[in-house]
Structure formats: C-alpha cells, structure tokens
C-alpha cells in the first residue's frame, strides 16, 4: 500500500544496519541503500532525544548536495539512556560487559530518532521505549557477549537475541524501536510525504 503511494518518490536509506534494512523490506518498500561515513560525535551539553536527533540529522548532511527533487533520504540513530547517560555501541568486550552490568536490574530508555530529508524539507522524529532488565549474572553477560554480536548495538544488546528472551521483564512502548527503528513512525511520516 505505502509503496504504491510512494511510487513517484525515490527512497534512500542511509543505514548499514541489516535490521533497519529488513524493516523497510517488510513494509514492501522499494529503496536504495546509500552510505556515507560520518563521525558520530555530539556536543556534550545534549541530553536524551537531543542526542539521537542531532546524530540522525548529522548523518543526513553528507547527502544534501546529492538529493534530487523526488528523493526522500532517511537517516536514523539509536541510543540507550540510563541515569542521565547515553550508552552508545560498545568499543570492546570489556565495554560491552560494563554496559550490560549497568543495565542489569534497572529500567532504561531506548531512543531512536529518524530524520526525513528532501530538497525542500527536513523533519526529525524521536520514539522512546522503556525496557526493564532482570538482575543479570556475570555468567549470563559473558555468555551473551561470547555468543552474540553486541558491538554494533546501542547499549550492547539486541532485544531480538538471546538476552532479550531471558533478561527483559517489561517493555513500555514499541518493540521495533528497540530493535532499531520505530516502524510505526516511519510509516506515518512516509505516508505524509507521499502526498
């Protein structure tokens, strides 16, 4: 349905995330994957969704001069927010362990911001999901790090993986947002841009 409405538009997804790409496929959309490197550095004064908004917009800047009138560029960023601190992607095994230790027996927020850019407009929308973890043992944390891929995920975990099955006791908000893209928001905004 959405693909039909967007048939005169050219969607560009600027994300190397296989999870985000799959969501676009699941929506039945025709899209191009286009990647440009960007240093994901944000001003330290930013808080909460200001960080993910800033980074999602930052990722769109290298494409500005390339956009054609019928293009819709989609960039996105996800952070985990815990105790007034943003947790990004872990740098190594020790970093992943520390992150998961912090998340153990707490509730954190997963914030994903999505930036929609055309030649004439830009809109950034953030989605927040609250996730509660049980008390994780060191053995469980180490098992997850050794057997899964925490390094490309904000907060060092994927909700769709083993740890999501055994550790999450409560979720408030959209599940897909924690996977990496608030699909309901993307659908709504692309529908608006199809008009």
Q: What one-character-per-residue DSSP string does the chain give?
A: -HHHHTTTSEEEE----HHHHHHHHHTT--EEE----------TT--THHHHHHHHHHHHGGGGGG--TTEEEEEEEEEEEETTEEE---SSHHHHHHHHHHHTTSEEEEEEEEEEE-SS-EEEEEEEEEEEE----HHHHHHHHHHS-GGGSGGG--TTSHHHHHHEEEEES-HHHHHT--HHHHHHHHHHHT-
* pLDDT score recorded for residue 92: 96
Residue 133, domain CATH? 3.90.950.10
Task: Write out pLDDT tens, residues 31-43.
Answer: 999 999 999 999 9
Domain hosting 55: range is: 2-193
Q: How many domains does the chain have?
A: 1
Q: What is the mean pLDDT of residues 142-149?
A: 95
Residues that are catalytic: 77
* pLDDT score recorded for residue 1: 86
Task: Write out pLDDT tens, residues 69-127.
Answer: 999 999 999 999 999 999 989 999 999 999 999 999 999 999 999 999 999 999 999 99
pTM of the model: 0.93
């Amino acid at each position: 349905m959405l693909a039909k409405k967007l048939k005169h538009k050219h969607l560009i997804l600027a994300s190397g995330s296989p999870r985000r790409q799959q969501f676009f496929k699941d929506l039945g959309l025709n899209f191009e994957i286009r990647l440009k490197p960007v240093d994901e550095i944000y001003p330290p004064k930013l808080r909460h969704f200001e960080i993910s908004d800033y980074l999602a917009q930052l990722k769109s800047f290298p494409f500005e001069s390339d956009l054609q009138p019928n293009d819709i560029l989609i960039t996105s960023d996800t952070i985990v927010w815990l105790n007034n601190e943003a947790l990004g992607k872990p740098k190594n095994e020790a970093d992943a362990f520390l992150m998961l230790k912090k998340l153990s027996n707490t509730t954190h927020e997963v914030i994903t911001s999505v930036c929609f850019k055309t030649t004439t407009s830009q809109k950034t929308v953030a989605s927040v999901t609250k996730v509660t973890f049980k008390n994780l043992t060191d053995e469980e944390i180490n098992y997850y790090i050794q057997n899964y891929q925490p390094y490309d995920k904000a907060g060092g975990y994927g909700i769709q993986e083993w740890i999501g099955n055994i550790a999450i006791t409560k979720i408030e908000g959209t599940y897909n947002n924690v996977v990496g893209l608030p699909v309901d928001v993307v659908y709504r905004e692309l529908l608006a841009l199809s008009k």
